């Protein structure tokens, strides 16, 4: 028996050592919501260890990176606590340039979301709350399969209010597969396998299969009963990606760029007035019956600059109603350019009838076209960044001055943040084919 123990002990000792080694391996990552610091030795292991991980490729000297860091610290525990967690990590891409080159990092900070090892560029918002919501959407399945009433309620609650939600009841699983992937960034999609009459009452459908559209932010809901061919499904989805009446804002203008429908636009003095609220109810009713249009509204007080492009300035006779092509042209209906206070529902109906009958006057927007207007919106941030960069560069050279022998001095690091310095042609420390650029917030 003693001889047997002598042979057994080394085996037990080996198993024990192996277990202890696995517990202290340097690639055991924290999952408590702390942002994980990666390096060359741990990067691949992290990507393989987590189904969903957001990686911040940063540089220590980058000001944008420093401003992003506390936002990621705030978002990390929220994302880690999800039912399907997303973890946040960061990599010093200025130091580990081979990895940066592998993932085509050309500026700082660059965020990439890895889902089951497959990277996708993250270009969404970077404030903690908005980033969290955006990442949750990107990391979710194209179409979530829901098994019960409880899972439907959890799905709707988890989706939040900012994006529309499409839920298929009694539909084939492949019916939404393609469209769920195509419109993933713009909406939530779910399919319910088993549901009760309570769901039918709650979501107001009386037969199935049915596709229910919800827009919690605007308290809107509609139902589609087919036909369930892809073309008809897509039409229904596209019509419900926007609310029935769209408040014109910078963010909604961006959404309108992707919608090919003409826009029935109503301009009021002040969106917050009671009479404007009553008019919006009329517009919602008209929008329900005329889904071939998008219905939008804007207050002169809220965004006068935009309203003025349609010849609606302070002192104008408002509300004004028109049909806008989304670019340079808009149309007014003869005799119905303005909505009087009495019987506005009848006036809106007659306006739409007049437009369809061609009783219109074509007008041109004043100032920039919609496309150039949108480009200017998109370009404001870039212009400001360029101005700041140039100012900093001038200040650096001014303060640096010249050295005692008349030779201009150089900063040791790229403190003006245009990206990293080009890789040296010398063999020392060279990394093939990699130069940096600048990423703005």
* Predicted confidence pLDDT, tens digits, the chain (441 residues): 444 444 445 545 444 444 433 443 445 788 888 999 999 999 999 999 999 999 999 999 999 999 999 999 999 999 999 888 999 999 999 999 999 999 999 889 999 999 999 999 998 888 998 899 889 888 888 999 999 999 999 999 988 888 999 999 999 888 899 999 999 888 999 999 899 999 999 999 999 999 999 999 899 999 999 999 999 999 999 989 999 999 988 878 877 887 889 999 999 999 989 999 999 999 999 999 999 999 999 999 988 888 999 988 877 789 999 999 988 999 999 989 899 988 999 999 999 999 999 999 999 998 654 555 555 554 444 444 444 454 545 444 444 444 344 333 333 344 444 444 333 333 333 333 333 444 544
Strands 293-299 and 245-247: parallel
CA dihedral angle for residue 21, residue 24, residue 27, residue 31, rounded to 10 degrees: 130
For the chain, report the end-to-end CA distance as a whole number of angstroms: 71
Q: Which of 194, 167, 169 is nearest to 180 (CA)?
A: 167
Q: Is 62 a catalytic residue?
A: yes
d(C-alpha 274, C-alpha 268), whole Å? 11
Q: What is the reported pLDDT for 374?
A: 52
Q: What is the reported pLDDT for 412?
A: 36
pLDDT tens sequence across 408-438:
333 334 444 444 433 333 333 333 333 344 4
Q: Is 65 a catalytic residue?
A: yes
d(C-alpha 139, C-alpha 54), whole Å? 10
Strands 110-115 and 52-58: antiparallel
Return the structure tokens found at 101: 């080159």
Task: Write the burial class of residue 57 (CB in 10 Å: 0-12 exposed, 13-18 middle, 19+ buried).
Answer: buried
d(C-alpha 300, C-alpha 99), whole Å? 51
Q: What is the reported pLDDT for 149?
A: 94
Q: Which of 228, 136, 239 is nearest to 188 (CA)?
A: 136
Q: What is the reported pLDDT for 20?
A: 39
Strands 320-324 and 110-115: unpaired
Q: Which of 257, 249, 241 is nearest to 370 (CA)?
A: 257
pLDDT tens sequence across 24-37:
344 578 888 899 99
Which of these is catalytic: 59, 62, 135, 307? 62
Q: What is the reported pLDDT for 134?
A: 87
d(C-alpha 441, C-alpha 110), whole Å? 10
d(C-alpha 145, C-alpha 141), whole Å? 9
Return the structure tokens found at 395: 């200040």
Q: What is the reported pLDDT for 344?
A: 94
pTM (predicted TM-score): 0.68
Residues 51, 56, 59, CA angle at the centre, nearest 5°?
155
3-state secondary structure the chain: CHHHHHHHHHHHHHHHHHHHHHHCCCCCCCCCCCCEEECCCCHHHHHHHCCEEEEEEECCCCHHHHHHHHHHHHHHHHHHCCCCCCEEEEEECCCCHHHHHHCCCCEECEEEEEECCEEEEECCCCCHHHHHHHHHHHHCCCCEEECCHHHHHHHHHHHCCCCCEEEEECCCHHHCHHHHHHCCCCCEEEEECCCCHHHHHHCCCCCCCEEEEEEHHHCEEEEECCCCCHHHHHHHHHHCCCCCEEECCHHHHHHHCCCCCEEEEEEECCCCCHHHHHHHHHHHHHHHHCCCEEEEEEECCCCHHHHHCCCCCCCCCCCEEEEECCCCEEEEECCCCECCCCCHHHHHHHHHHHHHCCCEEEEECCCCCHHHHHHHHHHHHHHHHHHHHHHHHHHHHHHHCECCCCCECCCCCCCCCCCCCCCCCCCCCCCCCCCCEECCC
Task: Write the burial class of residue 302 (CB in 10 Å: 0-12 exposed, 13-18 middle, 19+ buried).
Answer: middle
Which backbone phi and psi does 213 adopt, to 5 degrees?
Answer: -105, 130
d(C-alpha 285, C-alpha 267), whole Å? 17
Which of these is catalytic: 65, 179, 268, 298? 65
Cis bond upstream, residue 209 (ω within 30): yes
Task: Write the burial class of residue 53 (CB in 10 Å: 0-12 exposed, 13-18 middle, 19+ buried).
Answer: buried
Q: What is the reported pLDDT for 24?
A: 36
* Sheet with 87-92: strands ordered across: 36-38, 87-92, 52-58, 110-115, 118-122
Q: What is the reported pLDDT for 252?
A: 83
d(C-alpha 167, C-alpha 215), whole Å? 11
């Amino acid at each position: 028996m003693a001889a047997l123990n002598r042979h057994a002990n080394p085996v037990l000792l080996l198993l024990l050592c192996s277990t202890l080694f696995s517990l202290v391996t340097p690639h055991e990552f924290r999952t408590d919501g702390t942002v994980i610091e990666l390096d060359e030795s741990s990067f691949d292991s992290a990507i393989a260890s987590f189904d969903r991980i957001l990686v911040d490729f940063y540089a220590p000297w980058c000001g944008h990176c420093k401003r992003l860091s506390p936002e990621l610290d705030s978002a990390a525990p929220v994302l880690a606590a999800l039912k399907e967690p997303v973890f946040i990590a960061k990599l010093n891409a200025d130091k580990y340039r081979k990895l940066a080159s592998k993932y085509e990092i050309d500026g700082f900070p660059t965020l990439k979301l890895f889902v089951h090892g497959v990277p996708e560029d993250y270009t969404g918002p970077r404030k903690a709350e908005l980033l969290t919501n955006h990442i949750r959407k990107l990391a979710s399945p194209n179409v979530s399969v829901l098994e019960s009433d409880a899972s439907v309620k959890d799905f709707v609650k988890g989706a939040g209010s900012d994006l529309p939600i499409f839920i298929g009841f009694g539909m084939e699983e492949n019916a939404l597969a393609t469209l769920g992937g195509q419109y993933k960034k713009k909406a939530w999609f779910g399919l319910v396998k088993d549901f009760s009459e309570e769901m039918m009452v709650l979501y107001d459908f009386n037969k199935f299969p049915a596709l229910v559209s919800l827009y919690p932010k605007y308290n809107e809901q509609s139902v589609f009963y087919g036909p369930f061919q892809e073309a008809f499904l897509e039409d229904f989805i596209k019509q419900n990606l926007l609310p029935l009446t769209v408040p014109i804002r910078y963010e909604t203008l961006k959404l309108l760029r992707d919608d090919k429908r003409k826009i029935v636009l109503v301009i009021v003095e002040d969106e917050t007035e009671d009479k404007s609220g009553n008019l919006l109810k009329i517009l919602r009713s008209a929008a329900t019956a005329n889904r071939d249009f998008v219905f939008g509204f804007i207050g002169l007080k809220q965004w006068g600059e935009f309203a003025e492009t349609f010849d609606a300035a302070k002192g104008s006779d408002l509300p004004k109603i028109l049909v806008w092509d989304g670019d340079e042209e808009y149309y007014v209906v003869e005799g119905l350019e303005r909505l009087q206070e009495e019987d506005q529902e009848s006036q809106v109906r007659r306006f739409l009838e007049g437009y369809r009958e061609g009783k219109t006057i074509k007008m041109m927007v004043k100032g920039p076209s919609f496309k150039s207007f949108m480009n200017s919106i998109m370009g404001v941030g870039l212009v400001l960044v360029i101005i700041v960069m140039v100012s900093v560069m001038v200040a650096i050279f001014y303060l640096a001055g010249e050295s005692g022998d008349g030779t201009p001095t150089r900063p040791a690091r790229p403190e003006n943040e245009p990206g990293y310095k080009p890789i040296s042609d010398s063999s020392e420390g060279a990394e093939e084919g990699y130069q940096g650029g600048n990423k703005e917030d």
